[in-house]
Structures are given as C-alpha cells and as structure tokens.
Amino acid sequence: MTPRLEVKPIDTQSSFRTQAYHALKQAITSVNIYAHPHEIRLDERQLSQDLGVSRTPIREAMTLLEQEGFVKTLPRRGIFVVRKTKREIIEMIEVWAALESLAARLITLHAADEEIATLRHLFDEFQGRHPSEGHLDEYSDANIRFHQLIIKLSGNQCIADMTENLFIHVRAIRQMTISQDNRAERSIVDHMKSIEALEARDTELAEKLTRQHTLDLAAHVDTHCDFLS
C-alpha cells in the first residue's frame, strides 16, 4: 500500500496557508520516510479533504515546504516528501554530530543541574534491563527525545534552527537502525556515559562522547544501510 500522511483538520480562525504549512510540516516530520520502499506522494485533493480547506492554501504551503527542502516536485509525477541518498544521510549525521557536541559543551557551561537531570530521567524505566527486552519501541522514542533535549538544553537557538531540517532524516534513520547490531544496548551505555560527563561539568569529555556516539551512527549507516540509494 502506498503510504500517505496523517493530517488533522486545521483551525479555520487563522491563515489557511499558515495552518496548512504547519499541519503538513508536522505530519512530514512525524512520519518515518525510510520505513518502506515507496516514496510518499502528496495528493492535493486528499490533503484538501483531510485538512478541510481548498487546494490553494495547500499549494502555497507546499511551495514553502519545497523551499525548505521537505518536499520536491517531479514533472508529470507530482509532489513527494524528500528522501535522501545514503551519502547525503551520512553527511547530515556528521553535521548533527558537530552541532550536538557543541550543544553538549554549552550544557556543561550554562544548563542548570535540574535541567541536566531530565536527561537521566528519560531512561529511568530502562535501568537494570536491556531495551531490546520487549521495549524497543519505547526505548527508540526515549532515544529520540534524548537527542532533541540535548539540542534544547544548549539554550542556543541557532543550533536548534540548524538541526530542525536535519531532524526528519536523522530521526528516521535512528528509528530504522536502533534494532540492528545491538545498537540499543550500546546506545544506552553511551547515553549514560554522556549524562555522567554532563553532570560532572566535564566539558571536553561530554563534547567528545556526544560527538562520537553520533559519528558511530554515521559509520553504521555506511556499513549496514544498503537499502538506501
């Protein structure tokens, strides 16, 4: 079955274009675009029905999303959610590693102890047992939240903005690979070491561990993700 986005009707009290843009962007960033071999085609008529608006704001929203690199127009085929090549994904993960390691550095310098503690609490339910023991989906979600929270706790809006458009692809690849090659077990060990370094305000170690953890994902994709073009 060809995949489609799940969208909710928009609030008709505000700009249709703005609401359509946010609704579509939310749907695109929530879907795992690499979980199936088929590209996700955006059907204007179906989206118009799902959102409860005419096609005009849908087209305007798609234009904005195409400018941001979320969708692409293929002549005589339609508009599709962008899928990256294997090389592009590796490069995006490498950029994420650099930005996230900088975020870790900033956390050690500026974040409150209570904020850093929230990182550890993400994994409370996995203490003393392996994530793969019937809880892989839950751990995958916690893993994604961990990386989002590292960016947020940096307090640097520029880092947040720069990672926003990377997130859809990096998140999808993390979800796809978390069950491979014991990555879940190794991931939680890496996270705990990074959290300990953050709690100790060990700036250089926190930066190093955070960067290496994500670079290990890039190496894994390079070696194991042949399903990517």
Domain CATH for 21: 1.10.10.10
Same domain, 53 and 99: no
SS3 112: coil
The percent of residues in the chain predicted with pLDDT above 90, rounded, is 61
- Burial class (CB within 10 angstroms; exposed 0-12, middle 13-18, buried 19+) of 57: buried
Same domain, 39 and 135: no
- For residue 102, give the CATH number of its domain: 1.20.120.530
Number of domains the chain is built from: 2
Model pLDDT for residues 116-168, shown as the tens digit of each residue: 999 999 988 877 666 655 578 888 889 999 999 999 999 999 999 999 888 88
Q: Give a yes or no: residue 115 inside a domain.
A: yes
Same domain, 172 and 102: yes
Q: Give a yes or no: residue 102 inside a domain.
A: yes
In the listed set 31, 52, 81, which residue is the last one of a domain according to the structure? 81
Residue 114, domain extent:
86-224
In the listed set 64, 81, 98, which residue is the last one of a domain according to the structure? 81
Same domain, 219 and 140: yes
Q: What is the pLDDT of residue 94?
A: 97
Q: What is the pLDDT of residue 13?
A: 47
Q: Please state the pTM of the whole predicted model.
A: 0.80
Q: What is the pLDDT of residue 135?
A: 73
Model pLDDT for residues 182-209, shown as the tens digit of each residue: 888 889 999 999 999 999 999 999 999 9
CA dihedral 86, 87, 89, 90 (to 10 degrees): 120
Of 103 and 182, which is predicted with more confidence? Answer: 103
Q: Give a yes or no: residue 229 inside a domain.
A: no
Q: What average pLDDT does the structure give for the chain?
A: 89
> In the sheet where 71-74 sits, what is the strand order?
41-42, 78-81, 71-74
Q: What is the pLDDT of residue 179?
A: 82
Q: Give a yes or no: residue 1 inside a domain.
A: no
Average pLDDT over residues 13-21: 81
